[in-house]
Chains A and B, each alone.
Chain A
Amino acid sequence: MIRVRLPSQLRILASIDDELELPSTCIKTVLDVLVQLETLYPTLDGTLWNKKLMARRPYVRIFACQEDLSTFPLDYVLPKDVLNGDEPIVFIGAIAGG
């Protein structure tokens, strides 16, 4: 399982209370996570990334294993600890007020 942590606004949209889990069989990259997320939670469509630009939304940050993956390409292969479910991939809204 891939563990995914979402910010509160997206948990509200997706009607989930806590961390969610995605089946790990077809997930290797950040892009795989995004695609799987939107497949299982269509209400999140377009909230984390722009499919046309193949890029995360500007104020979305992506962290895993104490690393900032935000500026890495979406086909970046996730750290082993994320792939084996020991660590979550974390999406947060950039701290920009609000």
Chain B
Amino acid sequence: MTKVRLLVGTKKGAFICNADAARRNWSISGPHFGGWEVYHAKASPFDPFRIYASVSNAWFGQTMQRSNDGGISWEVVSNQLDYVGDLGTHQFYDGTSRPFEFKRVWHLEPSHDDPDKVFAGVEDASLFTTDDGGSSWIEIPALRQHPSSSAWQPGAGGMCLHSVIIDKNNPLEMYIAISAAGAFRTLDGGSSWTPINKGLRSEYLPDEDAEVGHCVHHLARHDASPNVLFMQKHWDVMRSDNKGDSWYEISGNLPTDFGFVIDIHAHEPETLFVVPIKSDSEHFPLDGALKVFRSQTGGVEWEPLTKGLPQSNCYVNVLRDAMSVDQLDPCGIYFGTTGGTLHLSSDGGSSWDMLDADFPAILSVEAQVIP
């Protein structure tokens, strides 16, 4: 029987939610790793019972965890994530140079076809990979050693590599994004990287059109439409039709184009979801009304989705990895808030339910379908 599993990373542990394909009745297990920040947990698309989790905190550092049974049990794998060679420097908030220093893993991206291969996006920004299920990690150093890296700077959350997209048909083609450096593309598995930020404008930069320095919050791409990328930038929702060579703004009729998440309908590559947030200083929805905005036209027009979502006194944020879709038909959409609520739609976003749980602040949500 088909099942849906949600992997929920929070400020104080991970939770796993399971339901059948109707997605009405959910069981919840957790907290796993209580007291630890779980920035991200994600399952292998090839083996849905193989799950990787990034578990960290400021006191005791980073641990990497793996489950081979769908999250029932976990084992620690290697937490040695060491930069290769010269550390190099990046800009700090005050404009001074600081050496790169590993802080935590923000995002885990398992390979499409090998359950032992995973990419890890980390803070300070770099990309690591494992070919042995996490027993050892090696840096892909060409990204951190890109000539532009001395100009990268941290966003408010740190200088994190938070988005990793692997082309399903050609795993040598990948896209990543760093806050606040921008988006980068490799066509050779990471040996070389090209900044893909043409068309982005950021008024907090001395040169608003600079090649790097942009605070990209999240990237999304649909496997069926590989030339098209979508981006939620600090401000601005952006689209590229040429694999990131150039971008144009699709914020259109959104009430505010600040936000963190952006995701794509599982079966409709031109249907997007964002959660507009009031501003970079006021990280909550406009007027205290939580609204998902959907565009079914690739960003030409946006419509608010409010049915089942709190429309008053709601002052939460939805962080960059905290939205996910499942592959069922109709498509399920899920997002978690910093207030610990988890909202889900099983009809493509037209109506929403809330999971009967109050989690710690939610950092990430991943949905998976178990055949």
Does residue B34 face the partner (Cβ distance < 8 Å to A)? Answer: yes
Contacts A12-B33, A12-B35, A13-B33 known; A45 to B60 CB distance under 8 Å? no
Q: From residue A14, how far is it (CB to closest CB) to chain B in Å?
A: 10
With beta carbons under 8 angstroms apart, the residue of A10, A42, A96 that contacts B60 is A10
Bound-state CA distance A43–B36 (Å) is: 14
Task: Give a binary string over A39-80; 1 marks a CB under 8 Å from any B CB, 0 the rest.
Answer: 000110111100000000101100000000000000000000
Q: Is the CB of B60 within 8 A of A9?
A: yes
Residues of chain A with a CB closer than 8 A to B34's CB = 8-9, 12
* Chain A residue with the shortest CB-CB distance to B60: A47
Does residue B91 face the partner (Cβ distance < 8 Å to A)? Answer: no
Q: Is the CB of B76 within 8 A of A48?
A: no
Q: Is the CB of A96 within 8 A of B80?
A: no
With beta carbons under 8 angstroms apart, the residue of A45, A59, A94, A96 that contacts B76 is A45
Contacts A8-B35, A12-B34 known; A57 to B59 CB distance under 8 Å? yes
Does residue A98 face the partner (Cβ distance < 8 Å to B)? Answer: yes
* Chain B residue with the shortest CB-CB distance to A11: B35
Bound-state CA distance A46–B59 (Å) is: 11
Q: Is the CB of A9 within 8 A of B59?
A: yes
Q: Is the CB of B79 within 8 A of A46?
A: yes
Does residue B345 face the partner (Cβ distance < 8 Å to A)? Answer: no
Residues of chain A with a CB closer than 8 A to B62's CB = 46
Bound-state CA distance A9–B35 (Å) is: 6
Contacts A12-B35, A13-B33, A13-B76 known; A93 to B63 CB distance under 8 Å? no
Report, as a range, how many residues of chain B touch the other chain. Answer: 10 to 19
- Contacting A at CB under 8 A, from B218-255, are none
Q: From residue A49, how far is it (CB to closest CB) to chain B in Å?
A: 10
Contacts A45-B76, A46-B79 known; A93 to B59 CB distance under 8 Å? yes
Q: Is the CB of A93 within 8 A of B60?
A: yes
Residues of chain B with a CB closer than 8 A to A13's CB = 33, 36, 63, 76
Q: From residue B75, how far is it (CB to closest CB) to chain A in Å?
A: 8
* Chain B residue with the shortest CB-CB distance to A46: B79
Residues of chain A with a CB closer than 8 A to B57's CB = 9, 98
Residues of chain A with a CB closer than 8 A to B33's CB = 12-13
Residues of chain A with a CB closer than 8 A to B357's CB = none
Bound-state CA distance A60–B75 (Å) is: 23
Residues of chain A with a CB closer than 8 A to B59's CB = 7, 9, 57, 59-60, 93-94, 96, 98
Q: Is the CB of B63 within 8 A of A57?
A: no
Residues of chain A with a CB closer than 8 A to B58's CB = 59, 96, 98
Residues of chain B with a CB closer than 8 A to A43's CB = 63, 75-76
Does residue B61 face the partner (Cβ distance < 8 Å to A)? Answer: yes
Contacts A59-B59, A94-B59, A98-B57 known; A46 to B36 CB distance under 8 Å? no
With beta carbons under 8 angstroms apart, the residue of A9, A48, A60, A94 that contacts B36 is A9
Q: Is the CB of A60 within 8 A of B76?
A: no
* Chain B residue with the shortest CB-CB distance to A41: B76
- Contacting A at CB under 8 A, from B47-88, are 57-63, 75-76, 79-80
Q: From residue A10, how far is it (CB to closest CB) to chain B in Å?
A: 6
Q: From residue B241, how far is it (CB to closest CB) to chain A in Å?
A: 44
Q: Is the CB of A45 within 8 A of B35?
A: no
Bound-state CA distance A46–B34 (Å) is: 18
Q: From residue B31, how far is it (CB to closest CB) to chain A in Å?
A: 9
For the complex of A and B, 8 pairs with smallest distance between CB atoms: A93-B59, A47-B60, A43-B76, A9-B35, A59-B59, A46-B79, A12-B34, A46-B61
The contact sample of 14 A-B pairs, CB cut-off 8 A, is A7-B60, A9-B36, A10-B60, A12-B35, A12-B36, A13-B33, A13-B36, A43-B76, A47-B61, A47-B63, A48-B60, A57-B60, A93-B60, A98-B57
